[in-house]
Chains A and B, each alone.
Chain A
Amino acid sequence: MNAAELNSGEVPDEAFLLALLTLPGMGPKRLAALCEEGTPRSAWTALLGSGAVPEVGVSSDQVTKWRAAARALSVEDEWKRAQGLGIWVSTSGDSKFPKRLRADIEPPSMLFGLGIEAGDQPTVGIVGTRNCTSYGKRCAFEFGAALAEAGVSVVSGLALGIDAAAHQGALSVGLKSSAPPIGVVGSGLDVIYPRRNTKLWADVAERGTLLSETAPGIGPQKWRFPARNRIIAGLSDAVIVIESHGAGGSLSTVDEAQARDIPVGAVPGAITSNASVGTNQLIADGAVPVLSVEDIFEMIHHHRPKQLDQTATPEDLASVVLDALGWNPQLFDELCTRVSLSPSQVAMEVERLVGDGLVGRAGPWIERLR
């Protein structure tokens, strides 16, 4: 394609923005710098021509790569292909663009979406580690369900572990009254990642909103996830970390939230649990300790009538085993040494407790669930 064709005016400005986004290594900051002086159209024309490109602070190698990629690409075809995928496109000017992001300190130039537009209802970001315990998963699920039921949209990243559990919780409540879930992902909307969340991905797109600032066709790349986290923070009225390791990715969401003055809450965990090192530290550093979903409502000044279900209490031998089990995962062997019962008696009590849903099995580990 030559410069004359580009000026034909058939192709909208958004198409050039999309084309720029598909270039290798093109993140939000570089894109913003590239278009600072002019428009996406002029930036694209500069890349195609042999003249100077606006100063972006990248190496000349990178610019050469962009030029090569730009020459190999037809803006019009790319635009048509994106529209054929059923993905809607929104830029900060139009009505589909989430209101919260318009005033953001670092708004995405362009958002791709599936499902409905993100509305004005209250939102809470729920984030946490992929490698979580069943305690974390349970908290995420229950908070997700309670928030959705009270009309608060759950914003999360659709990763494995906490993210998935939070949205599964939000989707578990009845369709009518519940708030639609909002998912913000790091890959293109036609590249499902992680693959194990295929169903969740489809469910969120069907009942709520799925957003990405990555152009369709681009797979998961490590550097895109922290950038994605800033959108999660930007879309949320409060960010809750359920479980996080000492240097977990969810802590980057916390940094983004703090940069935007968005309140951060953390769910306390056992000090012996690696998966709670990050969250406990957050609480020590001044984050709001989230002891129940009520604490979250308080953070976003939301009122809700409903109470969580009270769980049934076990009895007799079962309670002896339950007390010995405590709140840390244990192996059967350890459990047997803590109670003065035979292995087969312990096995029976554990089996009953598992049947009642009070205790869960994670591989060889036995965990108290509630």
Chain B
Amino acid sequence: MLAIVRSATVNGVRGHPVDVEVHVGSGLPGFTIVGLPDASCREARDRVRAALMSSGHDWPQRRITVNLAPSDLKKTGPSLDLAIAVGILGAIDTIDRSLLDEFGFLGELGLDGTVRPIRGALPMGDAIKTPSVVAPHDNGLEMTLLDRSVFPVTTLAEVIDCLSGKQAWPDPPEVMPSTVRRIRPELQDIRGQKLAKLALAISAAGGHHLLMVGPPGAGKTMLARRLPALLPDLTESEALEVTRIHSAAGELTAAKVPLIDPPFRAPHHSASAVSLIGGGAASMRPGEISLAHRGVLFLDELGEFTPSALDGLRQPLEERVVRVTRAHSTAKYPASVQLVASMNPCPCGESGAPGACRCSDAARARYHRRVSGPLLDRFDLRIGVQRPIASELFAEPFGETSAEVAERVAEARSRAIARSGHINAMIKPLDLDSIVPLTDSARSILETALSQGRLSARGVGRVRCVSRTIADLEGGGDEVTVEQLCLAMSLRVDPFGFGQ
């Protein structure tokens, strides 16, 4: 006798539907699973048997074959446990097989019959096309984002009782739509650093990547952590997108749902290329750059990351999407991030002021070589940050609050989007002349800088994009003034230009 149960598996950030076909027939008693299960998936055999018996059912002493269709798709993880258990019960007529077409089943089973939460519940739920989905209770919050009825369950016995009509399906958890940020670090916490705060606002308003170079203790990390606070709330569709990615990576906690805070990810500098970009041998987990999608990726101590990890970021930063290809599958992850990085000016880190650094010339050159020119070129904003002086440190809080700046940023963003349909960091070179027209004096300043080798051709384009953002932030009209252009140039310095 054959039962077919709908379930799903996850690859990258996408769910794929899986039909669990269970055949129970005559022959030597045994239990095999076919259809490319990985180790954790094949171990379902033992979990399912124990869970069924713990729930008060006899294990059929017959030949049980489970096929996971489509058979050429690799299935990873324990998320098919519940579907296999339900399939066996259907095949031996303990539950009514005709009911099974109505539901999809997701969940890992414990030996005592509990249904445990799984990684990637939301994208898997997307992939199942049945009218209702039975999912682990602990995944209930994220599953409310699904456009179908969801039944959160805690034990296998509960599932069997509900299917046989002995009790009603439990209600999904109720979610209050959140309108308040959970975390909004305060910009006023930082004393001094006027220029850096200005750069943060510009970065948030235009989506420009930001590099801060300065000695330890200058407040680079504090500044970076405040960037998400300046970004607008996630829209509903953005939140759904981000939740899916975090669910697929198993990074979603109940406290995060529903998401409106832009994500902030700060991987340690020992991170491998795969952990930043995504991939891995079997599960194709999304990397840090995708977990920071629609938010901020902060790379502290940029120079300490391995060059291969950093250079892997170049293409995703440009295309805002990551494509990872392995022999067995391909995955595509969204990766639209705002990159913020910090580093010391030199190994001694102390001052970096011309003539004051105590590093040997070779040591400094070696340090600077660690960040490749092309990656450096991706930073539209590069500023030097110094330690605040005592009088600034003990001064009263001053300047704008995070909320005030966020408001200006939101206005600037809506100006940019009304004009060109996207944020200013994404202005295409062809559109520059119509979006950022140059006055004669602005042109002559750019020409001087070009001829003195202080700006590259690419740099000129990027400086113009940034000047557009500055104008949008200052509320000006269509014109970008020379002053705004010069400010953009002052915010894009060669961070290692001192010495010879």
Contacts and interface: CB of A to CB of B under 8 A. Distances in A.
Interface of A: 129-134, 136-137, 160-161, 164, 194, 196, 243, 273-276, 329, 331-334, 336-337, 342-348, 350-352, 354-355, 361-365, 367
B384 A275 contact: no
B27 interface: no
A328 to B, nearest CB: 8
B198 A363 contact: no
Given A130-B361, A351-B445, A364 B486 contact: no
A332 B195 contact: yes
A183 B498 CA distance: 25
B198 A273 contact: no
Contacts of A344: 470, 481, 483-484, 486-487
A362 B454 CA distance: 11
A364 B354 contact: no
A81 B200 CA distance: 62
Given A134-B354, A363-B384, A363-B494, A333 B195 contact: yes
Nearest to A275: B355
Q: Is the interface of A mostly helix, strand, loop or mixed?
A: helix
B286 to A, nearest CB: 35
A351 B384 contact: no
A131 B358 CA distance: 8
A350 B482 CA distance: 12
A273 B382 CA distance: 25
Contact of A333 (B193, B470, B483, B494): B193
B383 to A, nearest CB: 6
B500 interface: yes
B32 interface: no
B198 A343 contact: yes
Contact of B445 (A161, A273, A355): A355
Interface of B: 192-196, 198, 213, 345, 352-357, 359, 361, 382-384, 386, 445, 448-449, 452, 454, 470, 481-484, 486-487, 489-490, 493-500
A337 B195 CA distance: 10
B379 to A, nearest CB: 13
Contacts of A129: 355
Contacts of B481: 344
Given A347-B483, A352-B445, A367-B354, 10 more contacts: A130-B500, A136-B355, A345-B483, A351-B445, A355-B452, A362-B499, A363-B352, A363-B384, A364-B382, A365-B384
A276 B355 CA distance: 9
A337 B397 CA distance: 17
A274 B196 CA distance: 27
Contacts of A334: 386
A364 B213 contact: yes
Nearest to A355: B448
B497 A333 contact: no
A19 B383 CA distance: 55
B361 A131 contact: yes
Nearest to A276: B355
B498 A363 contact: yes
Contact of B493 (A130, A194, A273, A363): A363
The 5 nearest A-B residue pairs measured at CB: A364-B384, A275-B355, A344-B483, A133-B355, A348-B486
Given A329-B354, A354-B454, A355-B445, A362 B195 contact: no
Contacts of B213: 363-364
Given A345-B483, A350-B486, A362 B194 contact: no
